[in-house]
Structure 1
Amino acid sequence: MKALTWQAPRSVRTIDVPDPEILEPTDAIVRITSTAICGSDLHLLDVLGPFLHKGDVLGHEPMGVVVETGSAVSKISIGDRVVIPFVIACGECYQCRRGFTTQCERTRTPGQDTGASLYGYTELYGSVPGGQAEYLRVRLADANAMRITTDLPDERYLFLSDILPTAWQGVQYANVPEGGSLAVLGLGPVGQLVSRVGRHLGYDVIAVDPVPERRAMAERHGVATLDLGDRLRDEILDRTDGRGPHGVVDAVGMEAHGNLVAAFSQHAAGMLPDAMAKKLMKTVGADRLAAMMTAFDIVQRGGTVSISGVYGGVGDPLPMLNLFDKQISIHMGQCNVQRWIPQLWPLVEDPADPLGVTDLVTHHGSLDEAPELYLTFRDKEDGCVKVVLHP
């Protein structure tokens, strides 16, 4: 089958790889019909290269049609349409029962001290082949393949795999009171959906992004937007009674604009021999923290900063004096996709499309076009906000 694979830092390529097979009775094989490129995939191009191997199959936002099932699979059948969460969870362990499927005790990667296995996302999370491919082996299929019973198009369901639950969790974690205010930093795919979720829940939403096309998309959904600028803090205070928003969602993460030193460090670590780079990133790695620091600066005293953007550093300095003085709460983490699906499923099937899931994709392509589209997405060219591939 064809699959999009990591080859080297800043190099991905579509090649032929072996078809996946049923290896456990709980497995299923899915023929992929739609699979998206996530902002987190861009970290694999530069920052997380030391934890990848040449030929690793990428992608963690897939959906498709079941073509084979293991003997122990009972909840899905051949021919079913399904969407696959990026988190592989058993649904039965202590952490899964608590709703923390990203901490699944059954699928954690031995020796890495990380959470649940993830599709297409480095040896830190199991080196599991991903979904930017013609076929995908779905593990623990009864707990992870979500069956679709309508004939609605893929775009209604695809984002349940990752970015829509991620956005929902980000807003929930921001702890905004009824009728309160929410600031969103970054209007990539997750930030767009965070803004729409905030509006859907009745919050006063202000979103910040330097890219005009991304601000325009958010404005179509009733979101007030601001550009990055020297007066950003003052403008947000002016819109929030001088106090700042009740909650702020950082939907940017480690690739924020600013901090050339951290940017150079990320690039340099990716060029070192893998063993050296892994040790460096696990002990002294640092991120570009511009978005996070802005969140701490603008949130009101006693407010909450919710971090949805991915960070990978372990040596990141935090302004502890200011955080303590302002009594800021910080809530973060990989999205517990399965936890939020019951609340989101009716919204994606609602004919009114209240979260605007049909107004997010700007670019479509084939697997052969994927390497070029990765770069288009990374460089924010051609108005690119979200890419969906169709194997």
Structure 2
Amino acid sequence: MKALCWQGVNKLSVEQVPDPEIRNEQDVLLKVTATTTCGSDLHLIGGYIPAMEAGDVLGHEFTGEIVEVGSQVRKHQVGDRVVVCSFIGCGRCWYCAHDLWALCDNSNTNPGIGSALFGYEPGGIFGYSHAMGGFRGSHAEYVRVPFADYGAFPIPAGMDDDTALFASDSVPTGWMGADLGGVRPGDTVAVWGCGAVGQMAAKAAMLLGAERVFSIDRYPYRLRLTEQHIGSETIDYSSTDVGAELRERTGGRGPDVCIEAVGMEAHSAGAHHLYDQAKQQLRLETDRPDAVREAIYACRKGGTVFVLGVFAGVVDKFPLGAIINKGLTVRGSQQHGQRYVPMLLDRMSRGELSTAHLATHRMPLDDGPRAYDLFKHKKDDCLRAVLHP
């Protein structure tokens, strides 16, 4: 089959790779119908995530049609249209039983790598390095889905694949930031990043009752799409002091909840960005925490900061003093999608959550390298590129 493979830093190619096979009795094989680029994939492409090997298949956000089922699969059959959660959960361990699906004890087949990097064994994820299990990703014609009864969800009748696609990762990740960030009716919320996840976090905050939501970015087309389709207020951080702007708009107090949806390659307009960029390139720190720092300083006293962006290791100049002296709660997680996907598909079916505008570009799998070039360099106002194998 054809698949989009990582071949080295900033090197992608479409290759012929072996077809997947049923390996365990709880697997299904899926014919991929839609899969999309994601900002966290850019960390892989840029060489910032360790444990990548030439030939690894990328992609973790996808829909498909089931073409084969393992002997112990109970909820699915051949021909079903499903959307698959990007993180793999066994459904039986302590973490899955407590709805902490990204922390599954049994899905990562290379736990030692993750333990060395993070101090514990993370769960498995499709197409996201050998530290996260070494699973083949979804930018392919077919993909093996382990523990399918827990991670694959029927696409509602009448919903097209390109709409359901974003329930795989972007929508539940954004929703989790607002939910676990503790957004309550009447709150003021600020979201750093107007990509797909940031937009979904802003919409989730609004649906959970936030009175005002601010979305922060620097790209005019991302700010415009957020205003048009999400309805949050926007701030262009390249033209203003975000902290001062948020204080002014909140009566001097600051947001109740700040959600960081940018990750380890954050950008800022200040000189500290040059400091972080230099240290990251020299591998003196692994991640650029510009947006996290700004969120911590901007959050009101006693508020909450939730980190949704992907981070790989260690950062410098982390404002621990601000966290302690302001009495902040700081949380973060990879997405516990299985907790949210069924509810979100229902909301999407009812029109409460719209994702159609996220897919600004559609193209065949053969154009995968071009899709990532458009996406990475923000060409042609690309928010997300959807690949159809």
If the TM-score is normalised by the length of the shorter chain, which range does it land in?
A: over 0.9
Matched, 1:171 2:167: no
Matches of 2:281 and 2:363 in 1, distance apart? 28
TM-score (norm 2): 0.93
Matches of 2:226 and 2:23 in 1, distance apart? 44
Corresponding position of 1:193: 200
Match of 2:378 among 377, 380, 383: 380
3-state SS of paired residue (2:380) = coil
The offset of 1:151, in angstroms, is 3.1
Corresponding position of 2:233: 224
Matched, 1:110 2:111: yes
Cα distance change on mapping 1:131 and 1:29 into 2, 3 Å: same
Query: Aligned ranges for residues 1-391 of structure 1 at < 5 Å?
Result: 1-48=1-48, 50-108=50-108, 109-112=110-113, 113=115, 114-203=121-210, 204-220=212-228, 221-228=230-237, 229-258=239-268, 259-269=273-283, 285-350=285-350, 353-391=351-389
Report if the CA contact (8 A) 2:48-2:286 is conserved. Answer: no
3-state SS of paired residue (1:66) = strand
3-state SS of paired residue (2:214) = strand
Unaligned runs of 5+ in 1: 270-283
3-state SS of paired residue (1:340) = helix
The offset of 1:268, in angstroms, is 4.7
3-state SS of paired residue (2:7) = strand
3-state SS of paired residue (1:226) = strand
The offset of 1:148, in angstroms, is 2.4
Corresponding position of 1:275: none
The offset of 1:311, in angstroms, is 1.1
Matches of 1:123 and 1:213 in 2, distance apart? 35
Q: Deviations over 1:287-332 (max 9, x none)?
A: 2111011101110000000110111122433212211110011010
3-state SS of paired residue (2:358) = coil
Matches of 1:297 and 1:164 in 2, distance apart? 27
Report if the CA contact (8 A) 1:67-1:78 is conserved. Answer: yes
Q: Deviations over 1:132-159 (max 9, x none)?
A: 1000011111122212241321123111
The offset of 1:233, in angstroms, is 1.6
Unaligned runs of 5+ in 2: 116-120
Q: State the one-letter code of the partner of 1:165.
A: P
Q: Which moved more, 1:49-58 or 1:23-32?
A: 49-58
TM-score (norm 1): 0.92
The offset of 1:107, in angstroms, is 1.4
Q: Which moved more, 1:381-390 or 1:139-148?
A: 139-148
The offset of 1:342, in angstroms, is 3.3
3-state SS of paired residue (1:368) = helix
Percent of pairs identical after alignment? 38
The offset of 1:104, in angstroms, is 0.9
Q: Which moved more, 1:75-84 or 1:341-350?
A: 341-350
Q: State the one-letter code of the partner of 1:236.
A: L
Report if the CA contact (8 A) 1:347-1:355 is conserved. Answer: yes
Cα RMSD for the two superposed structures: 1.5
Report if the CA contact (8 A) 1:296-1:323 is conserved. Answer: yes
The offset of 1:267, in angstroms, is 3.8
Report if the CA contact (8 A) 1:46-1:266 is conserved. Answer: no
Q: State the one-letter code of the partner of 2:226.
A: A
Q: Deviations over 1:57-86 (max 9, x none)?
A: 110001110011111112100000011111
3-state SS of paired residue (2:215) = strand
Q: State the one-letter code of the partner of 1:248.
A: C
3-state SS of paired residue (1:292) = helix
